[in-house]
């Protein structure tokens, strides 16, 4: 009798197990085909949020520079009759703004005749010792800024702005961007441009740090495949403001690395980004970036002509979504196996 019970229990458990596998396979296929897109979109939202976190951090960096500059405008305007005090102000801006690489104030032609046609008190961090601030009064023997586009734009437009990126005039290697504000005399006329510079190399390193943190927490399968997201800051023309390779910054164009599958898709992407739009359901659009299928998440940086862009390999999201699907199927299968075991034990030992 026990043999019959054991044999009967075994047959029922086996049939139940086979039916369970069939149902699990069916449920798995259903989940995969009908929820994969939604699951991928869910993970895509994750990357969109990460991009916005990078955006907020970068915005705070730029905002700190803005604050360091604007907090000193009133004092400078009240001491224009004391040019000897300006070097100390430049030093204070650099010292207090740990994200400020250098700071200078460029005056209009012959504002201080005794100092020459051009006058610019300037402070910068010693490249060999960042705690040391170097000072210099730059004048006629130095660069002729009076005819430069950025100088004319601030003075003639009487407006504050972020400059286009440029190379440091001292070493011609350090890549910088400056926040510039006009300085006014007692009659309200703009007479100088006060600017504080941010190192693009430093900004690149900060973005790399956050990207590395995110990529370090990805599943092992993604790491083994060498998949990782990467963030850039580009200007509205697509030129790289930040890039891990220094020779790409200011020289290479983001859009030159992009290819669209269908005619006009790349053009539409450029148009949306240059219009200052924020990325939406970007998992519906796949682009080739350096030959690899990728999704792009992007947003404009306020008060600049820059954009934050995060590039995510499509395979990375596919693996994440697939792993999630497999996890659901595994849980369902485990439940079926548990049901088979309980049924077998019940039929075998039921009196």
What would the pLDDT profile of 91-128 be if each residue is shown by its tens digit? 999 998 778 999 999 999 999 999 889 999 999 988 88
Domain count, the chain: 2
Domain match, 219 and 298 both: yes
Average pLDDT score over residue span 235-239: 89
Mean per-residue pLDDT, 233-261: 88
Residue 272 lies in a domain: yes
Question: 84 and 126, same structural domain?
Answer: yes
Whether residue 208 sits in one domain with residue 320 = yes
Report the C-alpha gap between 268 and 322 in whole angstroms: 30
Same domain, 187 and 75: yes
- List the Cα angle 269/250/315 in 5-degree steps: 45
Q: What mean pLDDT comes out for the span 199-211?
A: 88
Domain of 88? Answer: 65-198
The whole-number pLDDT of residue 2 equals 47
Kindly state whether residue 336 falls inside one of the protein's structural domains.
no
257-275 confidence digits (pLDDT tens):
998 766 667 888 888 888 8
Residue 78 pLDDT greater than 50, yes or no: yes
The pLDDT score that the predictor gives to residue 103 is 94
Residues 153 and 250 in one domain: no
Q: What is the pLDDT of residue 239?
A: 92
Rg (CA), the chain: 31
Whether residue 1 is predicted with pLDDT greater than 50 in this model: the reply is: no
Range 285-306 average pLDDT: 88
In-domain check, residue 339 = no
In a domain, residue 345? The reply is no
What is the per-residue pLDDT for 36? Answer: 64
| 338 belongs to a structural domain | no
pLDDT tens string 132-163? 999 999 887 777 899 999 999 999 999 999 98
Question: Phi and psi at residue 272, in whole multiples of 5°?
Answer: -65, -45
The CATH number for 207's domain is: 3.30.450.20
d(CA 259, CA 277): 20
Helix (H, G, I), strand (E, B) or coil at 277: coil
């Amino acid at each position: 009798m026990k043999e019959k019970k054991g044999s009967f229990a075994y047959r029922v458990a086996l049939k139940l197990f086979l039916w369970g596998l069939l149902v699990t396979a069916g449920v798995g296929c259903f989940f995969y085909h009908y929820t994969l897109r939604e699951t991928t979109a869910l993970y895509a939202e994750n990357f969109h949020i990460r991009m916005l976190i990078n955006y907020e951090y970068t915005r705070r960096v730029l905002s700190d520079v803005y604050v360091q500059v604007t907090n000193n405008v009133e004092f400078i305007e009240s001491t224009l009759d004391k040019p000897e005090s300006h070097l100390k102000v430049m030093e204070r801006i650099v010292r207090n703004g740990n994200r400020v690489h250098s700071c200078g104030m460029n005056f209009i032609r012959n504002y201080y005749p005794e100092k020459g046609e051009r006058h610019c008190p300037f402070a910068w961090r010693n490249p060999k010792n960042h705690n040391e601030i170097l000072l210099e009064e730059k004048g006629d023997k130095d660069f002729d800024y009076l005819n430069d586009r950025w100088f004319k734009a601030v003075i003639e437009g009487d407006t504050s702005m972020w400059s286009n990126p440029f190379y440091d005039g001292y070493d011609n290697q350090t890549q910088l961007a400056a926040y510039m504000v006009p300085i006014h005399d007692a009659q309200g006329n703009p007479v100088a441009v006060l600017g504080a510079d941010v190192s693009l190399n430093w900004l690149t390193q900060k973005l790399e740090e956050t990207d590395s943190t995110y990529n370090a927490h990805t599943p092992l399968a993604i790491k083994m495949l060498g998949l990782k997201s990467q963030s850039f800051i580009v200007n509205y023309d697509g030129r790289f403001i930040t890039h891990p390779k220094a020779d790409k910054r200011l020289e290479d164009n983001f859009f030159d690395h992009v290819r669209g599958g269908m005619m006009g898709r790349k053009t539409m992407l450029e148009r949306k980004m240059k219009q200052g739009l924020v990325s939406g359901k970007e998992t519906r659009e796949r682009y080739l970036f350096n030959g690899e299928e990728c999704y792009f998440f992007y947003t404009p940086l306020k008060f600049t002509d820059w954009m934050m862009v995060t590039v995510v390999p499509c395979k990375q999201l596919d693996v994440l979504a697939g792993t999630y699907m497999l996890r659901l199927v595994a849980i369902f299968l485990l439940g079926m196996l548990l049901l088979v075991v309980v049924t077998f034990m019940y039929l075998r030992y039921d009196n």
